[in-house]
Structure 1
Amino acid sequence: MNPLIHTSSSNVALHTYESALENPAMNYLLSLSSAQSRVTMQSFLGRVAMMVQKVTFEQFEWGALRRPHVMAILTMLNNAQLAPATINTYLAALKGVAREAWALKQMDAEAYAQIKDIRRNRGVRLAAGRRLQVEELYELYKACSSVPGDLIGSRDLAMISLLAGCGLRRSELVSLDVENLRSQDQSIVLIGKGNKQREAFVPQSSWSKLEGWLQLSGITSGAIFVRVRRENKITDSRLTSQAVLHVLGQRQVQAGLEPLTPHDLRRTYATLLLENGEDIATVMDAMGHADVSTTRRYDMRNSDHVKAARDRLKI
């Protein structure tokens, strides 16, 4: 049973939930505002627990964690040649768990302070993923709209267009309801990562594709992107983030493109804005980032500039 899930009608489930609150790792996960962050950090903590004690993260003795243990874990991660940003995510999770262990009086203040004082890993790696050329986006759109009146094609077209036209995250896309739409501004009000609300302004072409899907599907309230059965029947089952990944993979193959991910469409959105001359602060707001350094990681222009400089070089 997942200790994060319980029902008030079940004494066993309630006991499991209450017991989980004594676990610093579980408390840390509950403190995270994003469901995707909880999944990511639980995975990282699970790897640490298995790597160190060969147990699950629920069984790991987090209150006994000390600075030398954390330093040893970071060394192992470095030796595995993980990217600095990934190692820093592990460190953030371990610091978060140490904070909860201290709050639960399972760790003394000095031990927590020593872990909290560990510095982040320095260094950078080349930006992950890729940006799509506009021609590639058109090929994706064509792959979705080959059959008029096709509900699945219309839905996929609207989804991909919003991912590329607004830079939405998968989790943001699948959580959209009709009630989030603002027709007068052609915008979407949503709650993104970190529980931050923002307004995403939709380009005319993407808005038209979205309206086309809503009109064809007859959806007037609730979830915008739902499952469609093979016989072209609408369901009220909201798509999952994993389903979006699957859909994009199918359309990428149909379009004859190189592999890509939903986040590549987000990278494309940021890069296109920057190529259009938008300042980095505007792009940061559009992406829903809290720090401009995060936005800079989505700038995929640099390699193009360097390639152009190479081609101009005469030696």
Structure 2
Amino acid sequence: MDATGTVLEGFGRHLSLQRNLSAHTVRAYLGDVTSLLEHLDERGTALADLDLTALRSWLVGQQRRGMSRATLARRVAAVRTFCTWAARSGHLSSDVGARLRSPRPDRHLPAVLGVEDAAGLLRTAEELAGDDDPLHLRDWAALELLYATGVRVSELVGADVTDVDLGERTVRVTGKGDKERVVPFGVPAGRAVAAWLDRGRPRLVGPGSGAALFLGARGGRLDPRTVRGVLHRLTAVAGVHDLAPHGLRHSTATHLLAGGSDLRTVQEVLGHSSLATTQRYTHVTPERLRAAYTQAHPRA
């Protein structure tokens, strides 16, 4: 293995074992650092000679290739993490990435459904499940649970049967950094999940099912891409705005805020480690802002 491979292998172990990052994040960070190392090689710069000028040169090159601000921000985060690790492990004499500034993230928000449209979407899913087809029962339960809890689609498909407590109406999910949280859900989602577990899942169970809560048509754990396809199809059938699972998650957060929930609660529900992240994913409606102002300000 060459020097670059050795460095990447060591950094990958650090991310997995010490930072406890998900396999997806580890792959993304390693790809970002590989891009930086290739840039250094093109410049004829050794890793030991990495400086802020080289880092900025690499970042400018990424911008010129048309990278989105979100991707650039992640790449900067990856390189900062790498530089800190490289300095501590002796590959760099100092943490040169500490002064690399990240581009401001885009303020673009995903599309959201209004409360009535969300209800229409879920009503459509329930009506289709009336034929007792196991896939329709699954789709109804999956969408109800996504909207009720605001969990990520990866968290939904990663859940096991034992993670659901129908009596308490809660589901335990594992989010980023392998952090577990328990999220409540309401009566409609509980009814849909109960129907899926009672009448749908037993008819799809196969050798590869394991303990997975949601199953694909062949009996294996449900794939996130299938959920995306289901959501796109059902929004069309329901005649509401098309959106991805993340848009449904954002809808949940928006509706919680509009209904009176505070940002801290939404942060806990969504599983964000930082309140700043929650503020990016949610926005206060003018009506909610006016109501809060009227209630709180002495001269409103």
The equivalent of 1:166 in structure 2 is 149
The equivalent of 1:227 in structure 2 is 216
Kept in 1: contact 2:133–2:200 (CA 8 A): no
Q: What RMSD, in angstroms, separates the aligned Cα atoms of the two structures?
A: 3.1
The equivalent of 1:98 in structure 2 is 83
Aligned residues: 275
Q: Please say if 1:26 is aligned against 2:3.
A: no
The equivalent of 2:51 in structure 1 is 66
Q: Please say if 1:116 is aligned against 2:104.
A: no
Structure 1 segment 142-291 matched on structure 2, within 5 A: 142-144=123-125, 145-146=127-128, 147-219=130-202, 222-229=211-218, 235=219, 237-291=220-274
The one-character-per-residue Cα deviations of 1:162-183 (angstroms, maximum 9, x if unpaired) are 1111001011101111111223
Structure 1: how far apart are the matches of 2:160 and 2:6? 33
C-alpha displacement of 1:130:
1.5
Mean CA deviation greater in 133-142 or 159-168: 133-142
Kept in 2: contact 1:28–1:96 (CA 8 A): no
The one-character-per-residue Cα deviations of 1:206-252 (angstroms, maximum 9, x if unpaired) are 111111111112549711111125xxxxx1x1012223222222223
C-alpha displacement of 1:305:
8.0
The equivalent of 1:129 in structure 2 is 110
Which residue of 105, 122, 129 maps to 1:141?
Answer: 122
Structure 1: how far apart are the matches of 2:280 and 2:65? 23
Structure 2: how far apart are the matches of 1:24 and 1:69? 22
C-alpha displacement of 1:79:
4.8
Structure 1 segments (4+ residues) deviating >6 Å: 303-306
The equivalent of 2:298 in structure 1 is none
Kept in 1: contact 2:174–2:180 (CA 8 A): yes
Kept in 2: contact 1:249–1:261 (CA 8 A): yes
Q: Which runs of 5+ in 1 are unaligned?
A: 1-14, 55-59, 230-234, 307-315
Structure 1: how far apart are the matches of 2:173 and 2:24? 16
The equivalent of 1:87 in structure 2 is 72
TM-score (structure 1 length as normaliser): 0.75
Kept in 1: contact 2:150–2:270 (CA 8 A): yes
- Structure 1 residue matching 2:109: 3-state secondary structure: coil
Structure 2: how far apart are the matches of 1:224 and 1:175? 8
**How much identity, in percent, do the aligned residues show?**
24
C-alpha displacement of 1:85:
4.3
Report the structure, 1 or 2, having the larger helix content: 2
Residue 72 of structure 2 aligns with an amino acid whose one-letter code is I
Residue 100 of structure 2 aligns with an amino acid whose one-letter code is I
Change (3 A) 1:62 1:164: farther
C-alpha displacement of 1:136:
2.2
The equivalent of 1:35 in structure 2 is 23
Kept in 2: contact 1:245–1:262 (CA 8 A): yes
Change (3 A) 1:269 1:223: same
Structure 2: how far apart are the matches of 1:61 and 1:164? 50
